[in-house]
């Protein structure tokens, strides 16, 4: 139920912000900056993917609709099958689903995605791809993707770089066994040296 509420709230937030921005800011209006020249409001119709990728391609819309719908179905069943304890991974997938659903609604109803948040990071890298427009759905997808990667690498119970309690217990057990074997070998060497010394003394006698 928590994941359903999160999903619904994110989709509603995306759709409401799009509706408000397009109701009050015309597509032909200049960018309204609200944090320096980095962030602003700039409404435009995006027929491509997130951040305007492939927006000029005629095949983009039907392909993106089909891929988004398929991805939603796959992620839905993935969330259902995941163990309840894998919360971080589940939240990341729910974010991906919410972002995909928000843009899918636009594509199905309007045949384009409403972008409204302008970002300009050319002060970091002077390149054209550092200036783009997006929306809440795109941001949610980005955050979800980052969380998904972090979950797979560090947080999830099966994370690549995470040592579980079993792994730690196994490592401690192996260290203890190694230490015990070393002590036994030391005792054997010591006993062997003692036997040789006794033999030498007997030969002298």
pLDDT grade for 184, boundaries at 50, 70 and 90 = low
Q: Tell whether the model's pLDDT for residue 3 goes beyond 80.
A: yes
Q: Tell whether the model's pLDDT for residue 174 goes beyond 60.
A: yes
Res 129: pLDDT: 78
User: How much is the average pLDDT of 49-62?
Assistant: 71
User: How much is the average pLDDT of 60-76?
Assistant: 92
* Residue 61 CB coordination number (10 Å): 18
Indicate if the alpha-carbon torsion angle 148, 5, 101, 17 is positive or negative: negative
Select which of 14, 106, 138, 156 is catalytic. Answer: 138
Q: Tell whether the model's pLDDT for residue 199 goes beyond 70.
A: no
Res 194: pLDDT: 55
Indicate if the alpha-carbon torsion angle 158, 159, 164, 167 is positive or negative: positive
User: How much is the average pLDDT of 118-131?
Assistant: 88
Select which of 14, 115, 120, 156 is catalytic. Answer: 115
**138 given a catalytic annotation:** yes
Q: pLDDT averaged over the chain?
A: 84
Percent of the chain whose predicted confidence (pLDDT) is above 70: 76
User: How much is the average pLDDT of 116-136?
Assistant: 90
**115 given a catalytic annotation:** yes
Structure tokens at 65: 């609709």
User: How much is the average pLDDT of 105-117?
Assistant: 95
Q: Tell whether the model's pLDDT for residue 182 goes beyond 70.
A: no
Domain chopping of the chain, boundaries = 2-155, 164-205
Cα–Cα distances in Å, from 163 out to 152, 166, 167, 171, 191? Answer: 13, 8, 6, 10, 40
- How far apart CA 3 and CA 138 sit, in angstroms, is 19
- Of 36 and 195, the structure prediction assigns the larger pLDDT to 36
Percent of the chain whose predicted confidence (pLDDT) is above 90: 56
């Amino acid at each position: 139920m928590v994941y359903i509420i999160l999903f619904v709230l994110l989709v509603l937030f995306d759709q409401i912000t799009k509706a408000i921005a397009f109701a009050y800011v015309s597509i032909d209006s200049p960018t309204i900056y609200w944090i320096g020249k980095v962030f602003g409001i700039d409404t435009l119709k995006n027929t491509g993917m997130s951040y305007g990728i492939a927006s000029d391609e005629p095949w983009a819309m039907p392909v993106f609709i089909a891929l988004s719908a398929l991805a939603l179905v796959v992620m839905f069943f993935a969330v259902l099958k995941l163990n309840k304890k894998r919360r971080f991974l589940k939240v990341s997938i729910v974010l991906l689903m919410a972002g995909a659903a928000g843009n899918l609604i636009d594509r199905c109803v309007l045949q384009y995605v409403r972008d409204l948040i302008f970002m300009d990071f050319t002060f970091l890298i002077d390149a054209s791809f550092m200036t783009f427009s997006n929306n809440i759905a795109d941001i949610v997808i980005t955050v979800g993707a980052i969380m998904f990667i972090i979950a797979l690498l560090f947080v999830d119970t099966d994370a690549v770089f995470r040592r579980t309690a079993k792994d730690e217990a196994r490592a401690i057990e192996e260290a203890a066994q190694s230490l015990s074997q070393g002590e036994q070998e030391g005792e054997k060497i010591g006993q062997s040296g003692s036997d040789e010394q006794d033999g030498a003394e007997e030969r002298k006698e």
